[in-house]
Amino acid sequence: MTFDTDVLVVGAGPVGLALAIELGMQGRRCIVVERHDRVGYAPRAKTTNVRSRELLRRWGIADRLAAASPFGVDYPSNIVFATRLAGCELTRFANAFYCAPVRDERFAEHAQWIPQYKVEEVLRSRAVEFPGVELRFATSLADWTDLTDGVDARIVDLPTGSASRIRARYLVGADGARSTVREQLGIRMEGRSPLSHHHNIIFRAAGLAATHRLGPAVMYWLVNGEVPAVIAPLDNDDRWTFGANKLGEADSNPEALIRAALGPGIDVDIDIVSRDEWTAHQLIAESYRKGNVFLAGDACHLHPPFGGHGMNMGIGDAVDLGWKIAAVLEGWGGAALLDSYEIERRPIHRRVVDEAVVNLGFSSHGLVLEGIEDEGPAGDAVRARAAAQIQETKRREFDSLGVVLGSAYGASPVLSGEAVEPRLQESTNFKPDARAGSRAPHAWLEGGTARGASLFDHFATSAMTLLVTAGGPKAATAAQSAAAEARIPLMVAAAFDRPELRALYQARFALIRPDQHIAWRGDDIHEAGAMLARAAGRIPSKTQEITT
């Protein structure tokens, strides 16, 4: 069978675009079909987290995303809780999600507050720079036949209605919550749904940011008995987003609700731009693959957006799946690599979905206490109690590095035996971990080097990296010979002259995969050589129970 492309990706949301970039960067070909006529319809995600921006740095576009920031990356990522926008401040979280553009030893990139439509545009702009990547808008996947060696898909050009075929080695459904691919595979979503229904209003209000005394913030949680709500600046054209459960009431008047939530004394023109309805779920697909077809992103996991994980987790799926497919197509990756996608990602999805459901339990109406807007000492006492409760229950939502960086893969056919259980750290208590399965611990290299100031800049993106934490490249010779013999691409990162690296990794050597996760670490270089075949998926996977 001859193929038109290596991978047919369905959907140019953030996950399909991320997969296209990953495949393009690995030198592979893909066609992305998207039924919309362009990217960027979704005003949904605002948080691009620390890990996604590390991956964007790996793709060379972290700075491009920073430049697209509507308020600039210096804009403070405060989250303020108040009774109304014109009311009393209750409490606040500074530097939510770690958006402050400061150097932190634990990660290579800060997070960023930026609307999803801007993220998608930056991802699109990068994807089309790769000669092997083709984006086809206003094009829908209709159906496909899974053949032994690939898929034969029928796609429809929506403006003309004309159908054509694309033959690809693999097909990936990155086609969102109502995934056609998942449906046609007959894969069910398991879990609880619906948890709740929500309505967001996008509106314009010139000068609103200057009307209150709460100071700049990325979100204002308005905790009052009349219209508990969340309001957030979305873009630099006075565009805001407003969410309140009461918007669901049939006779609701969104402008009146927004005015009530703002509170007395704020008199601005409100121009409703659009309405976005969404449902909170706690759902994971019963499997992520059938034959040559995979699912990624919202197509295989759905959870409430509280904590800002959905798009970010999907970008993680795209990188995990993308380098593995590319390695298999290049010929150095074995079948176990593709088996490992679901084995590694599912426990992470389960963890994040559960975390987001906990966060949903503390939405703004659930935080209201009787008398919260009362005047005088009695009201002050209620507000102090509310503030304490908010600090106790909401911190994990805005300070979640333990989830974002600390979720390590467990038993997987491509990781050393050290990766036994998925290790899921406490949300607010991230500790760098160098055991196999973890995202590699980060370090800044003093003053930088020719390749970059972050240790991650020294990791290969399309090959395995052998990190030598103490000593020069000669120490890696045995592993290099093993790699050459097995024809597995291996790059050596050594001679950093940083004694702390050995302490950080607690080993002399670490084998780092293209996705910056650790496959093995140890002090015996011969073990590293032997481990390469496993890390490349050349050792057939045993039937493995997937831990959920």
Ligand X SMILES: Cc1cc2nc3c(=O)[nH]c(=O)nc-3n(C[C@H](O)[C@H](O)[C@H](O)COP(=O)(O)OP(=O)(O)OC[C@H]3O[C@@H](n4cnc5c(N)ncnc54)[C@H](O)[C@@H]3O)c2cc1C
Of 8 and 372, which CB lies nearer to ligand X in the complex structure? 8
Task: For residue 479, give the 3-state DSSP assignment.
Answer: helix
- In the complex, what is the shortest distance from the CB of residue 241 to ligand X, in angstroms, rounded to a whole number? 8
- In the complex, what is the shortest distance from the CB of residue 159 to ligand X, in angstroms, rounded to a whole number? 14
Of 14 and 333, which CB lies nearer to ligand X in the complex structure? 14
- In the complex, what is the shortest distance from the CB of residue 301 to ligand X, in angstroms, rounded to a whole number? 8
- In the complex, what is the shortest distance from the CB of residue 49 to ligand X, in angstroms, rounded to a whole number? 7
- In the complex, what is the shortest distance from the CB of residue 12 to ligand X, in angstroms, rounded to a whole number? 6
Q: Which long-range contacts (CB under 8 A, 24 or more apart) does 140-143 make?
A: 140/33, 140/35, 141/8, 141/10, 141/33, 141/175, 141/180, 141/181, 143/184
CA atoms within 13 A on the CB side of 293: 26
DSSP state of 57: H
Residues engaged in binding ligand X (CB under 6 A): 10-16, 33-36, 42, 44-47, 116, 140-141, 174-177, 180, 200, 278, 297-298, 305, 308-312, 314
Of 130 and 306, which CB lies nearer to ligand X in the complex structure? 306
Strand 79-82 relative to strand 219-222, pairing: parallel
The residues that bridge with 388 in the sheet, in sequence order, are none
For residue 295, CA distances in Å to 87, 149, 178, 271 come to 46, 18, 12, 39
- In the complex, what is the shortest distance from the CB of residue 20 to ligand X, in angstroms, rounded to a whole number? 11
Of 99 and 528, which CB lies nearer to ligand X in the complex structure? 99
Of 84 and 124, which CB lies nearer to ligand X in the complex structure? 124
- In the complex, what is the shortest distance from the CB of residue 79 to ligand X, in angstroms, rounded to a whole number? 12
**CA–CA gap between residue 162 and residue 165 (Å, rounded):** 10
- In the complex, what is the shortest distance from the CB of residue 425 to ligand X, in angstroms, rounded to a whole number? 19
DSSP states of 403-419? HHTTEE--S-TTS-TT-
Backbone dihedral region for residue 318 (phi beyond 0: left; psi -120 to 50: alpha; all else: beta) = alpha
CA atoms within 13 A on the CB side of 408: 29
- Closest among 527, 405, 525, 519 to 459, alpha carbons compared: 519
Of 205 and 356, which CB lies nearer to ligand X in the complex structure? 356
Of 180 and 469, which CB lies nearer to ligand X in the complex structure? 180
Note whether 479 and 525 are within 8 A (CB): yes
Of 310 and 537, which CB lies nearer to ligand X in the complex structure? 310
Backbone phi, then psi, for 246, in 5-degree steps? -65, -20
- In the complex, what is the shortest distance from the CB of residue 367 to ligand X, in angstroms, rounded to a whole number? 18
| Nearest residue (beta carbon) to ligand X | 13
Of 358 and 495, which CB lies nearer to ligand X in the complex structure? 358
Backbone phi, then psi, for 265, in 5-degree steps? 95, -15
Of 47 and 541, which CB lies nearer to ligand X in the complex structure? 47
For residue 72, CA distances in Å to 159, 210, 212, 431 come to 38, 17, 21, 29
**CA–CA gap between residue 408 and residue 507 (Å, rounded):** 18
**CA–CA gap between residue 522 and residue 511 (Å, rounded):** 9
Strand 271-285 relative to strand 464-468, pairing: unpaired
- In 463-517, where do the E strands start and end? 464-468, 490-493, 509-512
- In the complex, what is the shortest distance from the CB of residue 250 to ligand X, in angstroms, rounded to a whole number? 21
Of 163 and 484, which CB lies nearer to ligand X in the complex structure? 163
- In the complex, what is the shortest distance from the CB of residue 379 to ligand X, in angstroms, rounded to a whole number? 31
**CA–CA gap between residue 24 and residue 68 (Å, rounded):** 22
